[in-house]
């Protein structure tokens, strides 16, 4: 379903369209949000990638748990701890991705995309807790270091888990960009942070093997914990910005402005009160369109349709609101504040 331009709708069809709107739950609701919400014609949807990350997290957790168990290393254990968090986080992300796909309805007329911020925020909080667990295990080992066993076998398992993480993380990064999903991006970042953790722990264990200095093991574990806290804090911060309706980022905002500048020059009109908003993978743009007051409704609406179309074409899943006003009327310029 798409919204036809009014110029293309014969006069006798328009009332029928209005009836359809009413039957859908009210003529005041934006039909585009309703119709686009469920539009997912991609071959592999974001949810499938979510399941891929669940499977990866479970596999790496198993590999690392074996490595930690046979070596008795606290740093390898901290690495496995991080994977437990990844499993929980990946499952949460799948739930969020499923909910985010729901079409907008009467209760949530702006769609469900922002639910992804809950999962990434919770995920961030969760990994900070995991870091606490690692510190709890590592401190006693600093006081009384314990030797590590079967180092070589342990390292083989860690290397296998790391290779798997690298491969899947690259797949997820690409999918996250394509679907503009913060949940998939968080998943991918997790797997990569897991990789760096494993690389660091791998180096530490290798150093223990070469030098016999067992204190390196709990030291490495504490470094892992510090890095996990850093990632968790940034994930929580990102989710909070999303819940506070952050505007478009630099490059995206620039594209919108360039598009409006081109339209203003082309039609000799003006724009003001531009407001952009990110909501998970959806984008909202609101802008006032100032045209000569003598224009007909038809002329003005045709222009608004063009403006909305241009802006919607900048990125998928974008909702545009325009407000048409006469450029000669001073009141047109008094309405640019948030309170209007
Ligand atoms: Zn319209
Ligand atoms: Zn205005």
pLDDT, tens only, 248-268 = 988 899 999 999 999 999 999
54-76 residue pLDDT tens: 999 999 999 999 999 999 888 88
Length of the chain: 340
**Per-residue confidence (pLDDT) for residue 275, from 0 to 100:** 95
How many A from CA of 41 to the centre of ligand 1?
A: 25
Mean pLDDT, range 259-278, rounded to an integer? 95
Average pLDDT (42-57) is 84
Tokens of 212: 């016999």
Answer whether residue 277 shows pLDDT above 90: yes
Mean pLDDT on 295-315: 95
Residue 335 CA: which ligand is closest?
Answer: 2
What pLDDT is stored for residue 35 in this prediction? 39
The confidence band for 238, taking pLDDT boundaries of 50, 70 and 90, is confident
Ligand 1 midpoint to CA 111 (Å): 20
Please tell me the distance between residue 258's alpha carbon and the centre of ligand 1 in angstroms.
Answer: 23
Residue 340 CA to ligand 2 center (angstroms) comes to 10
User: What confidence category does residue 22 fall into, taking pLDDT thresholds of 50, 70 and 90?
Assistant: low
Residue 68 C-alpha to ligand 1 middle, in angstroms? 62
Tokens of 187: 């998943």
Helix (H) or strand (E) segment spanning residue 270? strand 270-279
Classify each residue of 293-318 as buried b or exposed e, where b means 16 or more C-beta atoms within 10 Å of its C-beta: eebeeeebbebbbbbbebbbebbebb
Q: What percent of the chain has pLDDT over 70?
A: 87
Q: Of residues 159 and 40, which shows the higher confidence score?
A: 159
Most confident option among 98-112, 122-136, 184-198, 220-234 = 98-112
CA of 96 to the centre of ligand 2 (A): 37
**Structural domains of the chain, ranges and CATH numbers in brackets:** 46-243 (1.20.1510.10), 245-340 (3.30.70.1350)
Distance CA 49, CA 184 (A): 7
Please identify which residue in the block is written with the tokens 């006003």: 325
Question: How far, in Å, from the CA of 327 to the mean position of ligand 1?
Answer: 20
> What sign results for the dihedral spanned by CA atoms 323, 329, 333, 339?
negative
* Token pair for 108: 């949530």
Tell how far the Cα of 304 is from the centroid of ligand 1, in angstroms.
Answer: 8
pLDDT attached to residue 26: 44
Nearest to 248 by CA among 320, 326, 164: 320
Query: Per-residue DSSP letters for 300-330?
Result: HHHHHHHHHHHHHTTSSSEEEEEEEEETT-G
> What's the confidence (pLDDT) of residue 230?
86
Is residue 40 pLDDT above 60, yes or no? no
Ligand nearest to the CA of 8: 1
Q: How high is the pLDDT of residue 38?
A: 41
Distance CA 198, CA 73 (A): 13
Whether the per-residue pLDDT at 9 is higher than 70: the answer is: no
Mean pLDDT of the chain: 83
Ligand nearest the Cα atom of residue 305 = 1
State in Å: Cα 297 to ligand 1 middle: 11
């Amino acid at each position: 379903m798409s919204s036809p331009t009014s110029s293309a709708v014969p006069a006798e069809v328009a009332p029928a369209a209005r009836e359809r709107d009413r039957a859908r739950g009210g003529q005041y609701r934006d039909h585009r949000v309703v119709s686009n919400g469920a539009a997912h014609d991609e071959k592999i949807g974001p949810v499938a990638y979510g399941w891929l990350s669940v499977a990866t997290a479970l596999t790496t957790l198993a590999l690392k748990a074996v490595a930690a168990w046979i070596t008795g290393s606290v740093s390898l254990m901290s690495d496995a701890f991080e994977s437990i968090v990844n499993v929980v986080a990946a499952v949460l992300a799948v739930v969020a991705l499923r909910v985010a796909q729901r079409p907008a309805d009467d209760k949530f007329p702006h769609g469900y995309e922002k639910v992804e911020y809950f999962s990434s925020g919770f995920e961030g909080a969760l990994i900070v807790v995991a870091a606490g667990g690692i510190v709890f295990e590592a401190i006693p080992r600093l006081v009384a270091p314990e030797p590590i066993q079967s180092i070589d076998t342990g390292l083989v398992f860690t290397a296998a888990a790391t290779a798997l993480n690298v491969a899947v993380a690259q797949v997820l990064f690409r999918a996250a960009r394509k679907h503009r999903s913060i949940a998939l991006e968080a998943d991918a970042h997790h797997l990569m942070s897991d990789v760096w953790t494993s690389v660091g722990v791998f180096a530490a264990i290798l150093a223990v093997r070469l030098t016999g200095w067992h204190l390196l093991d709990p030291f490495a574990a504490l470094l892992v914990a510090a890095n996990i806290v850093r990632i968790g804090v940034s994930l929580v911060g990102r989710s909070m910005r999303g819940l506070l309706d952050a505007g478009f980022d630099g490059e995206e905002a620039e594209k919108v402005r360039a598009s409006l500048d081109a339209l203003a020059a082309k039609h000799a009109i003006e724009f003001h009160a531009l407001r952009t908003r990110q909501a998970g993978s959806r984008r909202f743009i609101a802008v006032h369109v100032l045209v000569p007051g003598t224009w007909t409704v038809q002329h003005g609406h045709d222009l608004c349709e063009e403006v909305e179309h241009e802006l919607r074409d900048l990125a998928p899943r974008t909702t545009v609101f325009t407000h048409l006003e006469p450029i000669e009327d001073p009141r047109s310029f008094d309405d640019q504040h948030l309170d209007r």
